[in-house]
Amino acid sequence: MKTFTFRKGGIHPPQCKNTAEMPITPAPQAPLLTLLLSQSIGAPSKPVVKPGDKVAAGQPIAEPGGFVGAWVHSPCAGTVKKIETVRTPQGYPAEALTIERDPQSTEVFSYPPMNPADASSEDLVARVREAGIVGLGGATFPTSVKLTPPKGMTPRCVILNGAECEPYLTCDDRLMREHAPEIAEGAFCLMRAVGVRHCYIGIEDNKPEAIAAMREAASQYSGMEVCVLRAKYPQGGEKQLIAAILGREVPSGALPVSVGAVVDNVATAFAVQQAVVLGKPLTGRVLTITGEGALNPGNYYVELGTPLTSLLQTDERVDKIIGGGPMMGRAMSNLDTPTTKGLSGVLTMCLGSMPDIQPCIRCGACYSACPMGLEPMLLARQSENSDWEYAARSGVMDCIECGSCAYTCPSNRRLLDWIRYSKTQVRKLKS
């Protein structure tokens, strides 16, 4: 069987998909939900309700702050308590709406269901927008914006990202195993919305059950095909996925649609299906709780805004908690923070101590690992020397921050930290 992959670089971290056999279960419902107003890339959303208002489950409570922005909906019926400033997982202040659940109320708000086969492209995109759907792989880019390509660019296919190359995370795997028909229908909605006839579903070969389930579901639609990918990190990186499936490289600094591809996560496709066919806005997601310090590992369907303290039980030794996977996730400074649309997993780690940083021995491991063909050691050194112009010329902005370089470095140098710093400085220099 042919397996697809990208050509240059990549690493093979231990997979640690310990929760792969645990079915998705609904997480306990919290009495108080805190919904951040900036859960996606772009302008923060603006509240359309006031404290004291009664809301139904699924009712829109905040509108997009701009073209690149997203609606936010209440996951439960209840009362808007207050609009206040809370701390994000990284400790920064952010505006949030607090909703107190009303267990008696069964009021549900939903949009009129649509039939994707005869709905127009504009209607489908509008529905994706009003349902507040953003990229659920972690980037949280508003999906409706992705579905409206810039003028002069014609998409030729939709690619569904089911690679889930991050170690530990299993939420997409479980979703594909348990909800394959819905995902395929969501993919069909996306194909209709973009106006293309082909859809490729990329899944790494370490998920045979998901591949089988998606194959069967995809066979119901013409032009939809499952592509088996070789398990290699960062196979689920947008550019790597396109290179693996289409054999084309997205040019430096360009959008994926410039090679004709619109890439969406399988979880996003599921949310699109729910919004289009059932009229349900995005009010929850599947996330994986995992890691050696988690007492309740598993895959959970979680309402947005559920506080992590009520979701996660950890043991004594945990000294690092990560939102997302171990390669690209972000360390959290506190747990008094709610789940968001972009949170695909909570990883608990018991590190004890950090290994020493040693001098670079110029072994070239980072060169071989970089999937973008960059020179991480050189970029890091330019960053240490504050040579931003040289860094820009060396392609620092092409870095996808996958972390393969820092993972593979035998001297344990924090290459990606330096490169990230360099990117912010180059961005400043350009503006």
Partner 1 sequence: MSQELIISGSPHIHTRDSVDRRMWNVVIALLPALAVALWVFGLSALWITLLAVGACMATEWIIERYCFRRPCTLTNGSAIITGLLLAFNLPNILPWWMVIIGAVVAIGIGKMSFGGLGCNIWNPALVGRVFLLLSFPAAMTTWDPAVSSGLMQAVHTGASGVDAETGATLLATLKNSGHAIDMSRVDWLTLGIGDMNGSLGEVGSLAILIGLVWMLITRVITWHIPVAVLGSAALLSWATGANPGLELLAGGLMLGAVFMATDYVTSPMTHWGQIIYGVLIGVLTIIIRRWGAYPEGVSFAILLGNSVTPLINKYCRPRRFGMRKIRKEVAA
Residue 267 or 409: the one with the smaller Cβ distance to partner 1 is 409
Compute the least distance from the CB of residue 346 to partner 1, in Å.
12
Compute the least distance from the CB of residue 62 to partner 1, in Å.
29
Q: Of 57, 104, 49, nearest to 81 (Cα)? A: 49
Compute the least distance from the CB of residue 357 to partner 1, in Å.
10
Residue 274 or 314: the one with the smaller Cβ distance to partner 1 is 314
Helices within 247-315 (DSSP H only): 266-277, 308-311
Q: Is 247 exposed, middle or buried (0-12, 13-18, 19+ CB in 10 A)?
A: exposed
Compute the least distance from the CB of residue 137 to partner 1, in Å.
15
Residue 125 or 419: the one with the smaller Cβ distance to partner 1 is 419
Q: Is 163 exposed, middle or buried (0-12, 13-18, 19+ CB in 10 A)?
A: buried
Q: Of 243, 178, 166, 250, nearest to 204 (Cα)? A: 166
Compute the least distance from the CB of residue 327 to partner 1, in Å.
5
How is residue 362 written in tokens? 């110029």
Between CA 6 and CA 233 the distance in angstroms is 10
Task: Give, in degrees to the nearest 5, the angle at Cα 190 between 188 and 195.
Answer: 95
Q: Of 345, 349, 268, nearest to 300 (Cα)? A: 345
Strands (E), 292-329: 298-303, 320-323
Residue 222 or 313: the one with the smaller Cβ distance to partner 1 is 313
Residue 301 or 367: the one with the smaller Cβ distance to partner 1 is 367
Return the amino acid letter for 358: Q
Compute the least distance from the CB of residue 361 to partner 1, in Å.
5
Compute the least distance from the CB of residue 28 to partner 1, in Å.
19
Compute the least distance from the CB of residue 428 to partner 1, in Å.
18
Which residues sit at the interface with partner 1, rule CB under 8 A? Answer: 8, 11, 13-14, 90, 167, 239, 243, 248-252, 254, 293, 314-322, 326-334, 347, 349, 351, 354-355, 358-365, 367-368, 370-375, 377, 395, 398, 401, 403, 406-412, 414, 416-417, 420
How is residue 51 written in tokens? 């404290």
Residue 278 or 363: the one with the smaller Cβ distance to partner 1 is 363
Return the amino acid letter for 101: R
Compute the least distance from the CB of residue 77 to partner 1, in Å.
33
Residue 273 or 340: the one with the smaller Cβ distance to partner 1 is 340
Between CA 210 and CA 227 the distance in angstroms is 12
Q: CB neighbours of 13 closer than 8 A, spacing ≥ 6?
A: 167, 233, 326, 327, 407
DSSP conformational letter for 385: T
Helix axes 180-194, 121-130, angle to 10 degrees: 120
Residue 83 or 350: the one with the smaller Cβ distance to partner 1 is 350
Q: Of 405, 411, 375, 409, nearest to 393 (Cα)? A: 375
Residue 120 or 309: the one with the smaller Cβ distance to partner 1 is 309
Compute the least distance from the CB of residue 7 to partner 1, in Å.
9
Residue 216 or 319: the one with the smaller Cβ distance to partner 1 is 319
Between CA 290 and CA 323 the distance in angstroms is 11
Residue 116 or 307: the one with the smaller Cβ distance to partner 1 is 307
How is residue 256 written in tokens? 């994926």
Torsion angle of alpha carbons 315, 321, 324, 326, nearest 10°?
-90
Q: Is the Cβ–Cβ distance between 297 and 215 less than 8 Å?
A: no
Compute the least distance from the CB of residue 86 to partner 1, in Å.
17
Between CA 241 and CA 55 the distance in angstroms is 41
Q: Give CA 275 to chain center in angstroms.
A: 18
Between CA 289 and CA 318 the distance in angstroms is 13
